[in-house]
Amino acid sequence: MKTANMRDQEVLARQYQDNSNLQIRQNFHKKYGTNPVEYTEWILSKIEFIKGCRILEVGCGTGNLWAKHPQLVESFSALVLTDISPGMIELVREKYAGRKNIHIQVMDVLDMPFEANSFDIIVANSMLYHVNDVEAALENIHRVLRPGGELYATTFGKDGQISYINNAMFAMGLSDSKKVDDISFSLENGRELLAKYFSVVKLEPFDAHLEVTDPAELVEYIFSMASMSRLDSSNRDQMIAYFESKKDSRGILTIPMMYGMFIASK
């Protein structure tokens, strides 16, 4: 099997036609992540909100980032939630129906209809590595962000769980290479990319790893990944047995994570 490119738009259209794959991954990280602070809560804790600010989220998925904080959202003059997937946007519209300061639309970050200097804060949560032209996306984001505004962009590194999974797939004979494909926007290259458009860039790492006790749930997670979309479901039992054999004496699979957030100021 050759892993699918994370920027393959046909793969992504299938991946995000509904929220099932995304929900699998979110639930997995919530259950097995070792950081006591939930990832979405950690993200929000790093954002410097201003009362009355205008916020844009690109690639909002199901919009879960804001769901537990209605009072915070009420303090914004506008929260604009966008995603390229009509299926995701339909879910977001249902979730936030009747909220007057929340505006929801299908949108490609490469073709944003907003005027220059429109937003105080822009959030790009785990999505820039899916964009075909990440530099054009960053140029667009820079254009609609006001002077002094900030972009908060989360991503991952190549030596985290994606490397662990690729190595395992290769060891099982289910992949033709254990090499991690180039990630267009990662912890390794994000600073350099952002520095072309933003005057100040800093990185906040998310300190966590995964401690997995149920290999079947790890396998379900793997099947939910866009890069693993070419896997054959007939391999499930082999994969479960492999990961079962890799548990330590405590009955745990310890999987590294490399997640973090770039904060870029205009």
- Reply yes or no on domain 9-158+181-209+258-265 having CATH 3.40.50.150: yes
pLDDT, the chain, mean: 93
pLDDT at 205: 97
pLDDT at 177: 77
What is this structure's pTM? 0.93
Contact 128, 155 (CB under 8 A): yes
Token pair in block for residue 193: 């990319």
pLDDT at 91: 95
Q: How confident is the model at residue 181 (pLDDT cuts 50, 70, 90)?
A: confident
